[in-house]
Structure 1
Amino acid sequence: MKKNKLFYLTLIITFIPLIVNLTVYPHMPDKVPVHWGITGDPNRYGSKMEQLTMSALPLVLFLFLNFLPSIDPKKESYKKHDSAFSIINFVIILFLIILNITGLFSALGYNIQFQKVVPILIGILFIVLGNFMTQLRHNYFFGIRTPWTLASEYVWKKTHRFGGYVFVVIGLVPLSSLYIGPIGMYLFLGAMAIGIALILIYSYLIFKREKHNQ
């Protein structure tokens, strides 16, 4: 599959966290926050080697995501949704990069307000996914893969259109944390659980309706 400009841009930025972490590695404290709770507070610390290892995750994930189309029996679909696939890849990778670097700077003593950073990042991620998942064509690796979407291109299309709206709504919920505090992230978890359930139910009902009409 021919690579577009966004593919190469995404590849380039995957090296940024690795380079930054290697550069400041001698100055890292022995314990670095590597995971944050729903309220934005660190709830697990790791070694600085773990932090350095995690900085390679965007590159590893990028290579993995872009390897999958080569083994997908429906690899021709990726040519049709190349733009959407590239944008989603870019946003996911950028999400991981920002988390890694902000965690690093937090460990170095900078005042990073994760209770604001994380909801914004999650909200943007879900909104972008919702806007572009409607363009994803039928495939076996990328998108909303239920038994019913995989069995029918019609169900795939309808489910992704519905799921796109659901993801956008879900993405708006964590942004409320900026105004109502940590409860906004608890609402996000609830919205995500309800949203996923609605998507599954909708996908099944569309599949049953299609079978009934045949």
Structure 2
Amino acid sequence: MQTVHRLLLAAGFVALSGIVSLLAAPSLPAALVTNWDAAGDPNGTMPTLLALGLFPALTAGVVLLLAVVPRIDPLRENIAEFRAYYDWFIVVFAAYMFVVHAGIVAFNLGYEFDFTYLILVAVAGLLYYVGVLITHAEQNWFIGIRTPWTLSSEAVWDRTNALGGRLFKLTAVLALVGLLFGEYAIYFLLVPALLTTGVTVVYSYYLYERIERGSDATS
């Protein structure tokens, strides 16, 4: 039942996004600003009806997909071991999408704020929880740092995801620090995120080679 309650909470954020769209629609222009550059300047638009429907529909689709994953993963029994953390990730993701959607609507209603800063704060929150999630994730095919080496060795999985969890949390903190650096703020997110991806892939290969060679040497 706890899983059902958490999924209902995620669905609540989808519903809130839909309500925001319905309430704001009469007051919005024919096209909405939906893209911003690194300096926070608008640089792209989308037809209003499409934009208002896109985010709630996209969020609903992803939430539904995430809800199905624990049922279709061949290692579903491992997901059950950290299911609470996984369910809360679905909630955090839905909340993130709601914040983005509400931010776009508010900006187009004339409220003045730096949209890039809003996104950076929201992404930082999402990434921090990703760090929490993968730290607790057991070996599976959908969630966590999945490389040929982590999927081939439980020890490599555990150690790689432990490192990845710390790095994702650090990336989130650096993204917030970047808010102090104006138009360069986005790089405090992108560079650490790319480095985290590269480092964890290389680390998983290194660990696998060391563990496998160690096993061969002792056999």
Which TM-score band applies after superposition, normalised by the shorter structure? over 0.9
CA contact (8 A) 2:138 2:158 kept: yes
User: What is the total number of aligned residue pairs between the two structures?
Assistant: 214
Q: Could you list the runs of 5+ residues in structure 1 that have no partner in the other structure?
A: none
- 1:22 to 2:25 alignment: no
Structure 2 matches for 1:61-100, cutoff 5 A? 61-100=62-101
Structure 2 matches for 1:199-210, cutoff 5 A? 199-210=200-211
TM-score, normalization by structure 1: 0.93
d(CA) in 1 for partners of 2:164, 2:138: 14
CA contact (8 A) 1:92 1:125 kept: yes
- 1:56 to 2:54 alignment: no
Q: CA deviation at 1:123?
A: 1.5
TM-score, normalization by structure 2: 0.91
Q: Could you list the runs of 5+ residues in structure 2 that have no partner in the other structure?
A: none
- 1:137 to 2:127 alignment: no
d(CA) in 2 for partners of 1:69, 1:6: 14
Structure 2 matches for 1:94-133, cutoff 5 A? 94-133=95-134
RMSD of the alignment, in Å? 1.7
Cα 1:206–1:94 change in 2 (3 A) is same
CA contact (8 A) 1:40 1:118 kept: no
Q: CA deviation at 1:24?
A: 2.2
Q: Secondary structure at the match of 1:142?
A: coil
Q: Secondary structure at the match of 1:3?
A: helix
CA contact (8 A) 2:131 2:169 kept: yes
- 1:12 to 2:17 alignment: no
Letter in 1 for 2:95: L
Cα 1:148–1:196 change in 2 (3 A) is same
d(CA) in 2 for partners of 1:80, 1:40: 42
CA contact (8 A) 1:51 1:104 kept: no
d(CA) in 2 for partners of 1:38, 1:157: 36
Q: CA deviation at 1:2?
A: 6.9
Cα 1:208–1:177 change in 2 (3 A) is same
CA contact (8 A) 1:174 1:187 kept: yes
Runs of 4+ in 1 over 6 A off after TM superposition: none
